[in-house]
Structure 1
Amino acid sequence: MGKRKFVAMSETTDDSGTSGEEDFISLNLGGEDEPKSRQERRHHERKESKRKREKDDSEQDNLVCCPWMELMDSTAPEAPHKRLQKEVECFLRYMEPTEAERQLREYLVHKIRWAVQSRYSEDVEVHVFGSFGSNLYLPNSDIDVVVCTPPHIQVTLRNLARVLENAGVCSSPQVIEKAMVPVIKFRDLLTDLPVDIVIDSTSGLGSGKVIRQMMKKQPALRPLTLIIKHFLALHDLNEVFTGGIGGYATVCLVMSFLQIHPKLASGRMKAENNLGVLLLDFLQLYGHHFSMDTVGICPKTASYFQTNGRNLSMRGHRHYFSIRDPDCLSNDLGCKSFNSYHVRSSFNYSYLVLSRKMFQMYADWQGKRDRCGVTEEKFKRVNWDASLLGSILTVSMNVMDQRERIHRVYTDKSWLREEAASTFKLNQEKC
């Protein structure tokens, strides 16, 4: 995946320019707590070694990087909005699925279908929905699968889980029967990709069709949605069951934003060429200006509507982003997102951080540009090679490791020796 550029979260700075975490220097000045005997010293050393290993493991998730910067042609000083646009384009290029990722995801779905139909019947249909079905998936996104059974065939979650486990698709799948939509959760043994499987719940198939139609109308919908989905995932605000905003609701938020944006509506701005500016506008709208206490969105009619304060979540009784499902207007996609206030706060904070950094870069760029005889070396002291988008977005080590694992699996071609691979044909439409 190329050379990694790492930045430790503990090294980030706040708005005042000071370190987010104070350096801690342990001063061993002796005293009654100092180990005296050899046995005590060895015990102390083992304890410290274990503590250090645990600390290193816990900080693994805190190591973040900006790998898209390797795709930047130049980091020379320029207008910040142009720099942001270039970074957004590079970020999207980096996050775009590779051939290996596309093919192994397709193969995983095929393997599930092969296992199910081999055990039951070819009358049992297996379909994908969600982000993979609509081509809005991130490198670490799960694969949503629905198993559709004919009336004469009975398939239970526990039996299906055993079928998949016996076929070598997964190990120890988790069966959640008491959820609103019962589901099987597991990680693929080959790629470690997460999978969710439901039975005879086809609502996701309809929403996928709606999303594909919206993407045809708004070319900027897909790239901007991918950025926002990654942002929400970084903040652990992308799961409905934890009060976050689900994938379908996120698509509708972005779609409504693009529909209502005055410069896009008047034709004064081409969305694809201004994704950086649109990202800022999106964060500002939903983080600061949008009143989710009284206003809801309706992507189907490209309009807002008055909620009259009725959009209170069942949990916590707090207002949420009221979003009418384009496929079923009576369905409010945001009604279970009880952490909508946290989502809004994250949008607002990120808007302030990113816009502040852009203003600082603009002042540096404008000041240096107006001076005569300034060399390229002096520009670099302004740290123009640092990531602008990296002030609000990062790619974790876990995501990079996941991508590297898939690349290794794809390259060694061991998966081609599996029984299911003999009947696998790549869907070229997604390549």
Structure 2
Amino acid sequence: LHEEIIDFYDFMSPRPEEAAMRREVVKRIETVIKDLWPTADVQIFGSFSTGLYLPTSDIDLVVFGKWERPPLQLLEQALRKHNVAEPYSIKVLDKATVPIIKLTDQETEVKVDISFNVETGVKAARFIKEYMKKYSLLPYLILVLKQFLLQRDLNEVFTGGISSYSLILMAISFLQLHPRIDARRADENLGMLLIEFFELYGRNFNYLKTGIRIKNGGAYIAKEEIMKLMTNGYRPSMLCIEDPLLPGNDVGRSSYGAMQVKQVFDYAYIVLSHAVSPLARSYPNRDSE
């Protein structure tokens, strides 16, 4: 399983051509933005900036500039005029918590989300990169888990799954609090870690009472504690992860499908632990179960 994870990672990792193609997409959109607002600053965040993206992942862009309100409609018109996006793919989500423009690039069919003046994404990407340096095994776990959730339609908050940021914080917490110190070493067995991740979040983690904290080396804390920090009487959600960059914000807040995710993690734990158990080797013909 360890070798399979490494092979999968090598196979799914972005090729230089893929990265170059995505940079071209960014450049095309940036040109349109700079055309409108020469002083605007366009930054990449999300999986494209951390390198933790699958071929199907979208590109997250944020535009910094001086506007009263995010100029979504203006940019939408400009993008249409320059034929950057597939005509029917441009959507303006101005009612969302973070208003964004969604589009699909005409040439490459890569999906792009554009937001305005939101610093959290850029900071989060920086934060994740720091932890990737600290835990060299993190990217391997993340790519496997992302693909695992993608195949089950649980990789988007609005389809009842969990966000990539939640998933990454769950993985960081798993490594931080792992009882075996060597779990953080580069030569640790990835197969073992993946099974233990599924066991923790599929079986053992108490979603009802416990929240996840990343800062200060990581901890599990009672949801009551987290509630005290929450702004405007907000109650912790089922999957409760304290935002390491914004205490009082619960990253798992909109992950309504946390229990479906728990279920598939539990199922994966059963299947994988059976597949690697010594007994499984004595029944070679039963591995199709």
Task: Find 1:161's aligned residue among 71, 76, 82.
Answer: 76
Tell me the number of residue pairs that the alignment of Structure 1 and Structure 2 aligns: 279
* Greater length-normalized contact order (CA 8 Å, ≥ 6 residues apart): 1
Q: 1:331 matched to which residue of 2?
A: 249
Equivalent residues of 2:226, 2:236 under 8 A apart: no
Instruction: State whether structure 2 residue 131 is matched by structure 1 residue 214.
Output: yes
Q: Does the 8 Å contact 1:240/1:336 carry over to 2?
A: yes
**Structure 1 segments (4+ residues) deviating >4 Å:** 308-311
Match in the other structure for 2:232: none
Residue matched to 1:356: 274
- TM alignment of 1:15-414, pairs within 5 A: 84-121=1-38, 123-151=39-67, 156-170=71-85, 171-172=87-88, 173-263=90-180, 265=181, 267=182, 270-301=185-216, 302-308=218-224, 320-359=238-277, 362-363=278-279, 365=281, 382=284
Question: 1:186 offset after TM fit, Å?
Answer: 1.1
Aligned AA for 2:201? Y
| Structure 2: stretches of 5+ with no match in the other structure | 228-234
Letter in 2 for 1:168: N
1:241 Cα deviation from its structure 2 partner: 2.6
- 1:197 is paired with a residue whose SS is strand
| Offset of residue 165 of structure 1 | 2.0
Residues 158 and 294 of structure 1: is their aligned pair in 2 closer, same or farther, counting only changes over 3 Å? same
Code of the residue aligned with 1:239 in structure 2: it is E
- State the distance in 2 between where 1:284 and 1:108 align: 39
Evaluate the alpha carbon distance shift between residue 178 and residue 155 of structure 1 in structure 2; reply closer, same or farther with a 3 A threshold: closer
Contact kept? 2:5, 2:140, Cα under 8 Å: no
Deviations 1:104-128 (A, max 9, x none): 011111111111112331x011111
RMSD: 2.5
Larger radius of gyration: 1
- Report the alpha carbon displacement of residue 230 of structure 1 after superposing the two structures with TM: 1.5
Amino acid at match of 1:141: S
1:369-423 Cα deviation digits (max 9, x unpaired): xxxxxxxxxxxxx469x8x9xx8xxxxxxxxxxxxxxxxxxxxxxxxxxxxxxxx
Verify the 8 A CA contact 2:32 2:79 in the aligned structure 1. yes
Whether contact under 8 Å (2:63, 2:117) holds in the other structure is yes
Q: Deviations over 1:167-215 (max 9, x none)?
A: 2210231111111211111111111011111122221111111111111
Aligned with 2:53: secondary structure? Answer: coil
The answer on whether the counterparts of 1:169 and 1:188 sit within 8 Å (CA) in structure 2 is yes
The separation in 1 between residues aligned to 2:183 and 2:119, in whole angstroms, is 40
Please tell me whether the aligned partners of residues 143 and 196 of structure 1 are also in contact (alpha carbons under 8 angstroms): yes
Distance 1:268 1:295, change over 3 A: closer
Query: Are 2:226 and 2:242, in contact at CA under 8 Å, matched by a contact in 1?
Result: no
How many angstroms apart in 2 are the aligned matches of 1:246 and 1:319? 14
Letter in 2 for 1:196: D
d(CA) in 1 for partners of 2:163, 2:196: 21
Q: TM-score, normalised by structure 2?
A: 0.89
Q: Distance in 2 between matches of 1:125 and 1:309?
A: 39
Aligned amino acid, residue 41 of structure 2: E
1:98 Cα deviation after fit: 0.9
Is the contact between residue 318 and residue 338 of structure 1 (CA under 8 Å) also seen in structure 2? no
Instruction: Provide the C-alpha distance between the structure 1 equivalents of 2:131 and 2:190, rounded to a whole number of angstroms.
Output: 17
- Give the TM-score, by structure 1 length: 0.60
Shift of 1:268: 7.2
Rounded Cα–Cα distance in structure 1 between residues aligned with 2:55 and 2:30:
22
Does the CA contact (< 8 Å) of 1:185 and 1:196 recur in 2? yes
**Any idea what SS the aligned residue of 1:287 has?**
helix
Name the SS of the counterpart of 2:73 in structure 1: helix
Task: Evaluate the alpha carbon distance shift between residue 272 and residue 164 of structure 1 in structure 2; reply closer, same or farther with a 3 A threshold.
Answer: farther
